[in-house]
Amino acid sequence: MQATDSLPSSSHDGDSIAAWLRLVYAAGLSRLAAARLLRQHGTPQAILAASHASDNAAGLTRSQAAALRAPPSAALRALVDATLEWSARPDHALLTFHDAAYPPLLREIADPPLLLHACGNRALLTRSALGIVGSRNATTQGRLNAERFARSLADAGLTVVSGLALGIDAAAHTGALQGAGSTIAVIGTGIDLVYPSANAALAQRIAQGGCIVSEFALGTPARAPHFPIRNRTISGMTRGVLVVEAAERSGSLITARCAGEQGREVFAIPGSIHATLSKGCHRLIREGALLVETADDILAALQVGDAARARPFDDGNVSCESTMLTSLERAARPLLEALTYDPVSADELASRLQLDAADTQASLLALELAGVVERLPGGAFQRLKR
């Protein structure tokens, strides 16, 4: 794990944590209202000690003010104790909006989280970052693109931020961990939980070599409304967001929309006009997102130095794609020359090449096992760019 000794202390005593938690989790008190109170009074302790007249000045309703002034409940006291115990462990920190280690760009958005739980190297939170998001049900090509872009961007000095979801998110974290930089996972549950459980090993790697962040209280389970909140944090702490694959109604488009509203750059990788998971990216491009083909396009747009430029993609020559092709080469060449990066059915390939349908299926299966082509939903095939 990278050193964090140079970071300012973010430790808080029980009274301070209790005050922050009462402010953040007061029933019916929005983040905007809580932030407004902080601007008016400076600290949660001062807010709790203020008069009822100040509640009126801050625009609080009677029920909001009552919830804020109510004595800590048993559940809140238990949360305070659990948070104190959690934050006392190595590489754990509870960051408030006022802490020096709080992500500086995140402070600038309209409704920043007032508390962040951070596990890992929190120095990453103040470094230049780019978000990478996309479909959970990603294609193999999409995952390869996400991983390669993330590694190139990390090598160029950017921290890659994503949401620890399956598919594109997981590939982006994996690629960034392989690069010179690292990655931040912004999650939609309490930081003591891993969701989805299939990414438990990846989460452990991120905690050791990157950083995991959550604004939700310990023990908070995965709930659908939490993920749009998580998405605005991903975009808020980054200089821009890259959408790798997205359907027309993808949650990744929420992240892109938040990025646009927050004044961040939005990037999108185009795909086939026939691919469902390209529809969202094409929509973003029509709406003004920057079409990108390499990580260099992003680095140039963000004016990141060219000392560590993007890794070029392989030129896709058949002889390089897999050592397994040697024994398949005679049958594979006609298929690979006809098989583009657009989805196409085996029957159409067989008809186009005037090949036997069964032989075509067998050759495609062999190429699929060799990792050169991908079988898509509906029985179509697509050549992979490795």
Determine the pLDDT at residue 352.
78
pTM of the model: 0.81
pLDDT tens for the chain, 386 residues long, are 333 333 434 557 778 888 999 899 887 788 888 888 888 888 898 888 886 666 666 677 787 788 787 888 888 889 999 999 999 999 999 999 999 999 999 999 988 999 999 999 999 999 999 999 999 999 999 999 999 999 999 999 999 999 999 999 999 999 999 999 899 999 999 999 999 999 999 999 999 999 999 999 999 999 999 999 999 999 999 999 999 999 998 889 999 999 999 999 999 999 989 889 999 999 999 999 999 999 999 999 999 875 444 444 433 333 333 344 445 545 567 777 777 677 788 888 777 777 777 777 777 777 877 777 888 877 788 888 76
Cis amide linkage into residue 225, ω under 30° from 0: no
Q: Which of 206, 12, 193 is nearest to 93 (CA)?
A: 12
| Strand-pair category, 115-120 with 92-96 | antiparallel
Single-letter amino acid, residue 200: A
CB atoms within 10 A of CB 75: 10
Within 8 A by CB and 6+ apart from 265, the residues are 239, 240, 241, 259, 290, 301, 302
| CA–CA distances in Å: residue 241 to residues 150, 159, 221, 376 | 12, 12, 26, 26
Q: What is the pLDDT of residue 302?
A: 95
Give the C-alpha distances (Å, rounded to integers) separating 385 from 33, 145, 230: 49, 9, 31
Give yes or no for a contact between 116 and 95, defined as CB atoms under 8 angstroms apart: yes
Structure tokens belonging to residue 124: 């990453």
- Set out the domains of the chain in order of their start, with CATH numbers: 9-85 (no CATH), 122-302 (3.40.50.450), 318-383 (1.10.10.10)
Q: Is 199 left (phi over 0), alpha (psi -120 to 50) or beta?
A: alpha
Which of 204, 262, 217, 271 has the alpha carbon at shortest distance from 81? 217
Q: What are the tokens at 230? A: 């998580």
Side-by-side strand order, sheet with 265-268: 92-96, 115-120, 211-214, 183-186, 159-162, 129-133, 240-243, 265-268, 290-291
